Amino acid sequence: MIRITKAFKLEMAHALHGYDGLCKNIHGHSYRLWVSVSGEIKNEKGHQKDGMVMDFDIIKQIIKSEIVEKYDHSLVLNANSPHAEIDLSAFEKVFYLPYQPTSENMVLDFASIINNTLKRKEIEEDRLIGPYFLTEKERRNTDACKQAIAGKLLIYLWDDVLRHGLRDQLFSSRISTFSDLVNLYNSKKPIFADKVEELLEEELEDPSTQPETEMLGQAGS
């Protein structure tokens, strides 16, 4: 699996209503937005996108039109706060969002915007941003699912989610490289830290977490 990343920049101001610090006041940031797309390289000779995970131009067009041009040099405020009552009609780019405009909430919003646009362009589900690692086809096929977990989900956890010194909180201390992780997984050996393994076992043993099954039979005489 290959991951491609494109970086974008924008300037934006916001205020966090109810925050217990200086950020409750209007202030600005220089934002850096990194958009990563992971997937298998398309191997279709003669196809316009042969040899690509995704066309960089598609990513650039979406981010530029849906996010950068809209929010660059704008002011974003919480629509569910007294800020919405302030007359800011003299300013051209003011947005009232249905949530607290923190960087975290805006990233989730941006991801939704990007994914919806990708879907309209009929981009494959496993190229979307967020928890779309396993396609319906992969989920229904055991071998394909195992391969996808190793090639998509584990590398995402290892390289992205846990790369800043957090890997030992999820994975076994015996694992020092991604190759170690994949080899243990393919060998059907435990890959998670002891505490995580215990939690997984508890989850599997809990009847309330198991899918319901229909009991068939006849009443005895």
Q: Which residues of the chain have pLDDT under 70?
A: 1, 121-136, 138-139, 160-161, 203-221
- Beta-carbon contacts of 167 under 8 Å, excluding residues fewer than 6 positions away, are 158, 175
pLDDT of the residue at 129:
59
36-95 tens-digit pLDDT: 777 778 777 888 878 887 788 888 888 899 899 999 999 999 999 999 998 999 999 999
Please answer whether residues 3 and 38 qualify as being in contact, where contact means their C-beta atoms are separated by less than 8 angstroms.
yes
pLDDT of the residue at 212:
43
pLDDT of the residue at 158:
80
Other beta carbons within 10 angstroms of residue 179's beta carbon come to 9
Residue 81's SS3 state is coil
Q: Please, what are the domains in the chain?
A: 2-127 (3.30.479.10), 136-207 (no CATH)
pLDDT of the residue at 72:
96
What is the rounded CA–CA span in Å between residue 204 and residue 33? 38
pLDDT of the residue at 22:
94
pLDDT of the residue at 123:
64
Name residue, tokens 């989850």.
Answer: 203
